[in-house]
Amino acid sequence: MTEVRERGEVTMDPAPIDFAGVSPAELIEWLRTMVLIRTFEHESVRLSLAGKIPGGIHSSEGQEAVAVGSIRALGPDDVVAGTHRSHHHALTKGLSPRSIMAELFGRADGCSGGRGGSMHLVDPSVNFFGSNGIVGAGVGLATGAALGFHLRKQPAIALGYVGDGGANTGRVWENVNLAALWKLPLIVICENNLYAVETRIDQSFAGESIAGRASGFGLPAIAVDGQDVVAVHRATAAARERALAGDGPTFIEARTYRYEGHNVGEYGVYRTQDEIAEWRTRKDPIDRLRSALTAGAALDDQAFESMVEEATATVAEAVRYADASAWPTLSGDRAAWPADQIEMGDR
């Protein structure tokens, strides 16, 4: 795997993507999913600024490789719990663009019935236990699911995401400590995009690295290049194998970057346009995977443009679907999820 040792960010030229052990078909599917996420987020930002999405959003544009690389290493019965910035997690785990967009619009056909919005996407039928607005809470939700798997002796794991800002909250480390003590089948992935709202990590975090802090709890803790989808996948696959073997949790710090502000409409003066351009032009996860596939003769320009066209059409259809969906009723009488979709492992 590609290990990144610099505090805070990747400062050297990104290493070439190592495709060993991954088929071209898998890589192309991963790229297609990353393009869909990028297209969905770009359109969501536009719609939010136009007032079509109430309450604003937190865009994951730039962080696509973390979601795709990690979730593609999981099985269908594995649970995922996200953060306030989780559109990329939800799309990768299997929620439809339609159901997510309708939720962003606040409509009844949304995945949470139009009552949760961007920060409360959930679908138990695909074992996505939700995004939420409480910093670090996704790790707690995943720890609970991991405890359930452990007690039931089910061959499944739980993955909880947290941001670098959450690495300074007590609930994250309480759950990491408990999971390490009880050897729970848990993976914690910290999406370190360098900024907790407007505060850069080197102004808020004491210690060499987030992974280094995690290692003090007695579990494997590694840092990977979060813009390399294969590196993220390898780290997660190894962590999952370890968890299923009964060897307990793993902590992965994925060094990544968000292109948009903390939230849409932010007037950001805490980072330079040169810094954003550096990540967009030299470290972009989609460009890196596309270039590597093209160099390996597994992808040409026409095939990539077809991916973009497909994603554009899918997102446009999701917008039409959301716009045509009804508003939630005042009585809140939306049909409940079937019980067998809520009971873990009983699908």
Which pLDDT tens digit goes with each residue over 215-229?
999 999 999 999 999
Whether 7 is in a domain gets the answer no
Under DSSP, the state recorded for 201 is G
Question: Residue 332: which pLDDT band, with cuts at 50, 70 and 90?
Answer: low
Whether 15 is in a domain gets the answer no
Whether 87 is in a domain gets the answer yes
Percent of the chain that is helix, strand, coil (3-state, to 5): 45, 10, 45
* Distance in angstroms (rounded) separating the CA atoms of residues 234 and 207: 26
Q: What is the mean pLDDT of the chain?
A: 91
Whether 332 is in a domain gets the answer no
- What's the pLDDT tens digit per position in 46-81? 999 999 999 889 999 999 999 999 999 999 999 999
- What's the pLDDT tens digit per position in 5-38? 444 444 457 888 999 889 999 999 999 999 999 9
Q: What is the pLDDT of residue 344?
A: 43
Strands 199-200 and 195-196: antiparallel
Question: Which one, of 168, 157, 176, lies nearest residue 236 by Cα?
Answer: 157
Whether 310 is in a domain gets the answer yes
Q: What is the pLDDT of residue 330?
A: 79
* CATH number of the domain where residue 296 is located: 3.40.50.970
Position 285 pLDDT exceeds 60:
yes
Q: What is the pLDDT of residue 7?
A: 45
Position 247 pLDDT exceeds 50:
yes
Indicate the number of domains in the chain.
1
Domain range for 314: 24-318
Alpha helices in the chain (DSSP H): 24-49, 64-71, 87-93, 97-104, 137-152, 170-182, 210-215, 229-244, 273-282, 285-295, 301-324, 339-342
Q: What's the token pair of residue 344?
A: 């873990």
Query: CB-based contacts of 293: which residues, under 8 Å, 6+ apart?
Result: 24, 27, 28, 31, 299
Whether 208 is in a domain gets the answer yes
Position 83 pLDDT exceeds 60:
yes
Whether 138 is in a domain gets the answer yes
The packing angle between helices 97-104 and 24-49, to 10°, is 20
pTM assigned to the model: 0.91
- What's the pLDDT tens digit per position in 177-200? 999 999 999 999 999 999 888 878
If one counts every other C-beta atom within 10 angstroms of the C-beta of residue 247, the result is: 14
Whether 6 is in a domain gets the answer no
